[in-house]
């Protein structure tokens, strides 16, 4: 027997169809969405503007999965990390950052990650599985409810565990769910998708009716170094990645962010700064430098503040907008690349790469 449909996985139009199959009016979809996304309800019973009959009917025919909070930790800087457990017992992490300068939810798209970037702890886990659209949107639903922010403005960054473009369909569906006017009504301008830049997926993204802000993890200015840092980029050239970015339709005044993890002695030289600026010439781009969040088992070091400053100035002088990301929630391991929920391995290969790069 097929499992019942899960409300968490339904976009408004899918919910409408389902209602009409059951002989109910389609407009109830808006009411249900409002209860779920604006009021945080997890049961049909409390949806008091639906008839008792419809509520009972829905309870009998629809499942509704919501990630459960297994742990919640608060950093001294106000950042909060949520460990959420999913229907199959797998766990993921989502992070709330109170002021960047806007309130921001950092959301996961996979359990683990298949990209295996040499400096990222999540990459060590490998990929356990993709998240469903409902599990991706569900993180926002749960955090907004827990923090009582359903009626407030916040941003979403897909920078938690996982590679969003490796889980393309579920990610885009989750964004449609979150953008739905009856629900949280998040505008695409409030959502940033961070990616290593999978070329066919970027081409597909360029054809979407609405596109979130894009942050591309560049991390290197030569193919050799990039291939070593991001093993899955091995079949991709930087120039092709840049061309793919040029194909993305940008709205007036929008820019693509290029993330660049600064690793001492690996990609932080004056020549790198020059090459970085040259690569991005002619693109509506801004660079976000991310000083490495070091962790045991990560075989790289963070450059000194002075070095970081010099690199940033040099990129800026070459005419590119640049910012340095402030690390948040490091004391609770909530910072970039520190989300990990299951033991990982692969340390030796990362170590090898680090040695190669320092040569």
Contact residues toward ligand SAH (CB under 6 A) are 115, 117, 119-120, 159, 163, 194-196, 217, 259, 261, 290, 292-293, 298, 336-337
Per-residue CA distances from 132 to 30, 63, 150 (Å): 22, 14, 22
CA 86 to chain centre: 17
State which residue, 16 or 135, has the beta carbon closest to ligand SAH. Answer: 135
Helices (runs of H) and strands (runs of E) counted in the chain: 12, 12
Pick 65 or 327: Cβ nearer ligand SAH? 327
The smaller minimum CB distance to ligand SAH, of residues 84 and 220, is found at 220
Instruction: Tell me how crowded residue 265 is: count the other CB atoms within 10 A of its CB.
Output: 13
Shortest distance, position 184 Cβ to ligand SAH, whole Å: 22
**Is residue 125 a contact partner of residue 342, using CB atoms and an 8 Å limit?**
yes
- Token readout for 153 is 């403005």
Distances (CA, A) of 60 to 32, 45, 49, 87, 105: 15, 11, 18, 19, 33
Q: Which of 16, 93, 135, 259 is catalytic?
A: 93
Task: Give me the residue whose beta carbon is nearest to ligand SAH.
Answer: 337
Place of tokens 């298949």: 114
CB of 198 to ligand SAH, least distance (A): 10
CB of residue 289 vs ligand SAH: minimum separation in angstroms? 10
Nearer to ligand SAH, 142 or 193 (CB): 193
Give me the least distance between CB of 111 and ligand SAH, in Å please: 13
Looking at beta carbons only, is 58 or 170 nearer to ligand SAH? 170
Q: Is 93 an active-site residue?
A: yes
Which residues, at least 6 apart from 243, have a Cβ–Cβ distance to it below 8 Å? none
H or E, element range at 105: strand 104-106
Nearest approach, Cβ of residue 205 and ligand SAH (Å): 14
Distance of alpha carbon 270 from the chain centroid = 30
* Active centre residues (catalytic): 93, 336
């Amino acid at each position: 027997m097929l499992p019942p449909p899960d409300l968490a996985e339904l976009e408004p139009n899918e919910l409408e169809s389902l209602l009409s199959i059951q002989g109910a009016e389609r407009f109830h979809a808006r009411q249900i969405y409002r209860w779920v996304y604006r009021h945080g309800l997890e049961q049909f019973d409390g949806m008091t503007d639906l008839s008792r009959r419809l509520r009972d009917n829905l309870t009998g025919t629809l499942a509704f999965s919501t990630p459960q909070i297994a742990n919640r930790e608060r950093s001294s800087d106000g950042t909060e990390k949520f460990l959420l457990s999913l229907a199959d017992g797998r766990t993921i992490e989502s992070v709330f950052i109170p002021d960047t300068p806007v309130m921001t939810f950092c959301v996961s798209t996979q359990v683990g990650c298949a990209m295996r970037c040499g400096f990222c702890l999540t990459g060590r886990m490998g990929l356990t599985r993709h998240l469903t659209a409902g599990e991706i949107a569900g993180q926002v639903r749960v955090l907004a409810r827990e923090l009582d922010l359903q009626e407030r403005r916040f941003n979403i960054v897909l920078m938690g565990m996982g590679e969003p473009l490796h889980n393309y369909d579920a990610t885009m569906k989750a964004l449609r769910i979150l953008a739905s006017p009856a629900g949280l009504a998040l505008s695409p301008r409030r959502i940033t998708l961070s990616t290593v830049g999978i070329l066919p997926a970027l081409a597909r993204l360029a054809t979407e009716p609405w596109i979130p802000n894009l942050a591309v993890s560049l991390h290197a200015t030569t193919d050799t170094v990039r291939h070593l840092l991001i093993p899955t980029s091995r079949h991709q050239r930087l120039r092709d990645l840049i061309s793919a970015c040029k194909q993305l339709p940008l709205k007036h005044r929008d820019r693509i962010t290029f993330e660049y993890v600064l690793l001492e002695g690996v990609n932080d030289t004056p020549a790198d700064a020059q090459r970085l600026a040259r690569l991005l010439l002619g693109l509506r781009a801004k660079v976000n430098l991310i000083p490495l969040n070091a962790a045991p088992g990560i075989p790289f070091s963070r450059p000194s503040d002075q070095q970081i400053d010099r690199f940033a100035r040099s990129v800026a002088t070459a005419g590119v907008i640049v910012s340095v990301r402030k690390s948040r929630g490091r004391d609770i391991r909530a910072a970039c690349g520190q989300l990990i929920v299951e033991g990982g391995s692969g340390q030796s290969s990362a170590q090898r790469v680090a040695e190669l790069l320092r040569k």
